Amino acid sequence: MAMTIRYVIILAVSSLVISGCASNQQLQSGGAALQYSPVESAPGSVKAEKLWQAFERYQGTPYQYGGTTARGFDCSGFITTAYRESLERRLPRTTAQMLRYGDVVHPDDVKPGDIVFFRIGGKDQHAGIYMGDNRFIHASTSSGVIMSELNGYYWKDRFSGARRFD
């Protein structure tokens, strides 16, 4: 019995650690899926409108560690693909490289198209694309490519910074 409980606890903790890019911020308190148009998410931003098209194309694509295609994305794979296809820009492949090479953006100056980073398990290991109005798009381990809110219960205390690639 004690071994079974210990095994269940180990599995639960392992699942939490492995789900570093996990989120199910797609649901509001009422349970309705977040649905926004590009105009609502970033009025007047051509960059955001182009990125929104990539989001619409890949929304719901499953999470796949190391993935960079419509078969599956990890968080940085989705960002690099969205930037390459929408903006014809090549970004560094990993979140660590994006943090190193992007221009630092003060949290009060984050604009649509900026890359936002989150500290999971003490490390900067998750990223998404800020779309304006407190929303970002990203590939989560639990829901694939989704839109979430920066001040959502999972993300607000994990936000660690932003970078811009102009």
Q: pLDDT tens across 20-44, in order?
A: 444 333 333 233 344 444 445 455 5
For residue 149, report the phi and psi dihedrals to the nearest 5 degrees. Answer: -110, 135
For 88-145, how does the pLDDT look when each residue is reduced to its tens digit (9 = 90+)?
999 999 999 999 999 999 999 999 999 999 999 888 789 999 999 999 999 999 999 9
Catalytic residue, chosen from 47, 126, 135, 163, is: 126
* pLDDT (0 to 100) of residue 15: 37
pLDDT at 152 exceeding the cut of 60: yes
75 as an active site residue: the answer is: yes
User: What is the distance between the alpha carbons of residues 113 and 122, in angstroms, rounded to a whole number?
Assistant: 25
Across 55-88, b (16+ Cβ under 10 Å) vs e yields beebeebebbeebbeeebbbbbbbbbbbbeebbe
Catalytic residue, chosen from 112, 138, 143, 147, is: 138
* pLDDT (0 to 100) of residue 121: 86
Cα dihedral 58/59/65/69 (nearest 10)? -10
* pLDDT (0 to 100) of residue 17: 32
For 35-75, how does the pLDDT look when each residue is reduced to its tens digit (9 = 90+)?
444 445 455 589 999 999 999 999 999 999 999 999 999 99
Q: What's the average model confidence in pLDDT over 78-82?
A: 98
Domains delineated in the chain: 2-164 (3.90.1720.10)
Catalytic residue, chosen from 48, 75, 79, 150, is: 75
Q: What is the DSSP string of 62-124?
A: PB-TT-EETTEE-HHHHHHHHHHHHH-----SSHHHHHHHSEEE-GGG--TT-EEEEEETTEE
106 as an active site residue: the answer is: no
Does residue 58 contact residue 137 with C-beta atoms inside 8 Å? no
Does residue 104 contact residue 122 with C-beta atoms inside 8 Å? no
* pLDDT (0 to 100) of residue 9: 40
User: What is the distance between the alpha carbons of residues 78 and 138, in angstroms, rounded to a whole number?
Assistant: 7
